[in-house]
Structure 1
Amino acid sequence: MANPNTILPPFPVPSNWEAVSQLYPIQSDSIWLNFCGISPISTYAKETMADFFDEYSKFGVFAPRYSEPKVKEQIREYMSQILKCRPHNIGLVHNTSEGMNLYSNSISLPKDSRILIIENEYPSNVYPWEHWQKKGVRIDFIPIGNTPDEFLKNLEAEFEKGNVSLLSISPVHWCMGMPFDMEKISSLCKTHGALLVVDGSQSVGHVPSDFLKWKVDFAVFAAWKWLLGPLGMGVIFISDEVPKNFEIIFKGAGSVKNDSNYLPYREERKPPADQFEHSTGNFNDWVYFLASLRMLTDIGYPKVMHRIYEISDQMSQMLRGLGFTLDSDHFPNAKSGIIGVTGFASGKTFQPEAIQTFLKGKKIYTAVRLGRLRLAPHIPVTETHIGILEKTLKEYLAL
């Protein structure tokens, strides 16, 4: 993946994964295993922020390297490479809910049609669609099943019922870690004339994401999960086809062309992705995010994704060896970094909250979601951390 002519300080690429782990001080005396929730900051991002603040304190908005246009241009360039799209398809928002709400309220859907969403979906991909129910559009939830193939059959059955105007889906389930076949899902949407919307928070940076090939109409995702960015920043993708039936509900100082000239007022809007940035964004977050994208790109995205799967597989094998059952037992050939621990093979009582509390007392941080103990390692997690986790779980099991 090409590296844009970056404005940031140099990033010496670590020689091994132990050195990558050392970029995350939190991993030195604790183990963070909730990267699909909120990622901690790296020393490179921290040092970049210090460099930015130093320059900004001297030059203010005229900072020569950290100008808003330069930072935004490079974020778009990095993201367009990750998503295999064009930079103008990328916009910056605060979070998934904001982007999804803006899109949902800016499109037109036929009355008596249906919106499809997977069952037990994250609220950011449910609440933004609820207003359509007052407008005569129904929301139906698709059973997940236990495997990607089973889910696909359930989805096909829903499409066969007819009147589907839109499918909004996460390519990876946020609790189970189960990935879905987006090429087949895209084909279903095309066949039935449905819009395809993606909540990419659990997929972008974690699994390959080709939004143009999938013919995605709109996508939004958080920066602070698999992309290791700042809490409170999100990214949108919007297809070139969307403007045909699209009118964004908000208009702000940044919505119109030539917005740096405030008067006279004007009607001509910026391209759709830029319209989502209807006013001033949190520029500090932009710099932090750019540093994370630079780090991941320089390490190499294929290498990063392979490592996520590698360390996740090692952790899964260790958990099975201790007698735990996992969601991925049902889809062993599908790649995912999210591990859903569902119980014990022996059938004994499984108390994920108790395990989470015990681990937290040992500075090992996980999450409990949908009755599962959820673990999500990323490149700062090493084999050493897996060994510590195994030892700690054995302590719990011996109680």
Structure 2
Amino acid sequence: MPYETHQSYRQLFPHTEQGLIYLNHAAVSPLSTRVLKAQIAHLQDRSTGKIETYPDDVKQLEKTKGCIERLINAESWERIALAGNTSDALNIVAAGLDWKPGDRILLNDLEFPANVYPYYHLKSHGVEIDVIHSSDGKLTAEMVYEALRPRTRLLALSAVQFLSGYRSDLAVLGELCRSRGILFVVDAMQAVGGMRIDVQEMKIDAVAAGAPKWQMGPQGIGFLYLTEELQSRVHQKYLGWLSVENPWDFFNFDQAPATTARRYEGGTVNIPAMWGYHASLSTILEIGPDVIESHILSLTGALTRQFLDAGLTLYSPTDDQERAGIVTILPPKGVEASAAYEELARERVLISARGGKLRYSPHFYNSIDEIRSAAAISLDVFARLSSR
């Protein structure tokens, strides 16, 4: 990304002018001034302007879905439903399929709980859960292949693992699942907005992702994508007035569900968040997903090299094909992750402490100078703590 262009986008995030190095986008991203402006404008319109903004909201909702369509290369925006969060979106798929006793779902022990509980809950229906165990934070296609069973019906996987930052080869896994008639459902919370996702190229049947992390949107909104074929098999467990083909035909109660993924939205979505979500997605598309991915990988690559040169142990991958936007390290001997996290926060470097490890996750507006500073400050903090 050209320097001048990068600087212009940094200005959308005022904290960059306040001496704060924010490297915690795998937890939650800061809201840009564009997102803030969009939400405030909508709320002001609801308070002192039109007040009845529904016609404008519907148009903006379709535009927002159109942005998601472009971001993940969906067949159409009609394949997109807005959801409150990743868990809600995944539960639509998990609870809506016709499960039979003895059906199997393949998971792994690296997953964030949001991509586990919707499937574990199906044990009450006689569904069997197989779990791939990883000792090094990686989940390769070979490991998945060896774990498949004759009655495996669904592979549930995060595009990028939340702690190790391992990026799975979704194209290979999608081809494997499609060849065996196995549903491929991806939790893309740690990928979309940072790493490229192409649902058609990767043969993904469903994708769920909340907005607040790499998509840099507000909390309380996200999306579910699913193919038309999968939609025909996902029978929702609840129905709302906006789920049917013509919601404004108020007294026709015999309507079929909408032919689009709107059927899964039920009622009014989080409209204020949707306005902000559109602003964040528009910014990502304006810059370009490929440009963003390349920039993030250059930052995490630099951070990885600095930590390796310092003799630290990485939990995140070093292979360029496996890396994403997350760099996770084991603290040096004698240093507690929680203590290092608190000390770094005092030094105005914000990261995450997870599972006794330290996780760094930069985004497109972060600079190489911030990465170098964060690494140097981290090494200084480690030295101070280990000498106590």
- TM-score, length-scaled by structure 2: 0.92
Letter of the structure 1 residue corresponding to residue 132 of structure 2: I
Alpha-carbon spacing, 1:14–1:393, altered in 2? closer, same or farther (3 Å): closer
The aligned counterpart of 1:384 is 369
Q: Confirm or deny that 1:318 pairs with 2:318.
A: no
Structure 2 contact 205–227 (Cα < 8 Å) conserved: yes
Residue 380 of structure 1 aligns to a residue whose secondary structure is coil
Residue 386 of structure 1 aligns to a residue whose secondary structure is helix
Shift of 1:317: 2.1
What is the Cα-based RMSD across aligned positions, in Å? 2.1
Using the aligned pairs only, state the percent identity: 24
Q: Which of the residues 358, 362, 371 maps onto 2:343? A: 358
Q: Which of the residues 78, 82, 85 maps onto 1:88? A: 78
Q: Confirm or deny that 1:373 pairs with 2:335.
A: no
Q: What are the Cα deviations for residues 305-326 of structure 1, in whole angstroms up to 9, with x where unaligned?
A: 1111112222222222333221
Residue 140 of structure 2 aligns to a residue whose secondary structure is helix
Q: What are the Cα deviations for residues 261-308 of structure 1, in whole angstroms up to 9, with x where unaligned?
A: 322323311125101210011110010000111111112221111111
Residue 173 of structure 1 aligns to a residue whose secondary structure is coil
Question: Hey, which bits of structure 1, 4+ residues long, moved more than 6 A?
Answer: none
The aligned counterpart of 1:61 is 52
Q: Confirm or deny that 1:125 pairs with 2:115.
A: yes
Q: What are the Cα deviations for residues 189-225 of structure 1, in whole angstroms up to 9, with x where unaligned?
A: 1233211111110111222211122222222111111
In the alignment, the residues of structure 2 paired with residue 272 and residue 135 of structure 1 have an alpha-carbon distance, to the nearest angstrom, of 28
Shift of 1:14: 9.0
- TM-score, length-scaled by structure 1: 0.89
Shift of 1:350: 4.6
Structure 1: 5+ residue stretches without partners: 1-12
Structure 2 contact 45–53 (Cα < 8 Å) conserved: no
The aligned counterpart of 1:271 is 259
Structure 1 contact 223–230 (Cα < 8 Å) conserved: yes
In the alignment, the residues of structure 2 paired with residue 167 and residue 272 of structure 1 have an alpha-carbon distance, to the nearest angstrom, of 24
Residue 115 of structure 1 aligns to a residue whose secondary structure is strand
In the alignment, the residues of structure 1 paired with residue 224 and residue 92 of structure 2 have an alpha-carbon distance, to the nearest angstrom, of 11
The aligned counterpart of 2:15 is 26
Q: Which of the residues 160, 167, 186 maps onto 1:198? A: 186
Structure 2 contact 196–289 (Cα < 8 Å) conserved: no
Shift of 1:372: 1.8
Letter of the structure 1 residue corresponding to residue 130 of structure 2: D
Residue 211 of structure 1 aligns to a residue whose secondary structure is coil
Residue 61 of structure 1 aligns to a residue whose secondary structure is coil
Shift of 1:334: 2.8
Letter of the structure 2 residue corresponding to residue 61 of structure 1: E
The aligned counterpart of 1:45 is 35
Between Structure 1 and Structure 2, how many residues are aligned? 380
In the alignment, the residues of structure 2 paired with residue 212 and residue 292 of structure 1 have an alpha-carbon distance, to the nearest angstrom, of 23
In the alignment, the residues of structure 1 paired with residue 212 and residue 331 of structure 2 have an alpha-carbon distance, to the nearest angstrom, of 29
In the alignment, the residues of structure 1 paired with residue 33 and residue 293 of structure 2 have an alpha-carbon distance, to the nearest angstrom, of 21
The aligned counterpart of 1:229 is 217
Shift of 1:352: 1.8
In the alignment, the residues of structure 1 paired with residue 270 and residue 290 of structure 2 have an alpha-carbon distance, to the nearest angstrom, of 30
In the alignment, the residues of structure 2 paired with residue 153 and residue 23 of structure 1 have an alpha-carbon distance, to the nearest angstrom, of 42
Q: What are the Cα deviations for residues 85-106 of structure 1, in whole angstroms up to 9, with x where unaligned?
A: 1111111010011111122111
